[in-house]
Amino acid sequence: MAVSTGKKKRRYSRPKRTLDPQITFDYKDTQLLRRFVTEHGKIVPRRISGASAQQQRALTVAVKRARTMAILSYGQGSDAR
């Protein structure tokens, strides 16, 4: 049986990043949407962007609409095969 040393490791937690609750996501505002899309075209997750659940859903819808209308690219154009 293993002997316990009595010390427990503490988890390091970063301060939470939060988004301004007044931000509204519009599919035509590509400058704002690009802040939440990686260089490979993936939508940034909530834990990184700091968006609430409702904001993240609105962001996802806006990015997908912009992609469908060819306002925002699906990813890097040069690496696509």
Q: Which CATH class is domain 18-73?
A: few secondary structures
Phi, psi of 48 (to 5 degrees): -95, -40
pTM here is 0.74
Q: Tell me what pLDDT residue 1 has.
A: 64
Digit-coded pLDDT (tens) for 47-78: 999 999 999 999 999 999 999 999 999 987 55
What are the residue boundaries of the structural domains of the chain, listed by start?
18-73
**What is the CB neighbour count within 10 angstroms for residue 44?**
16
Q: Kindly give the residue spans of alpha helices, DSSP state H, lying in 1-81.
A: 30-34, 46-49, 53-68
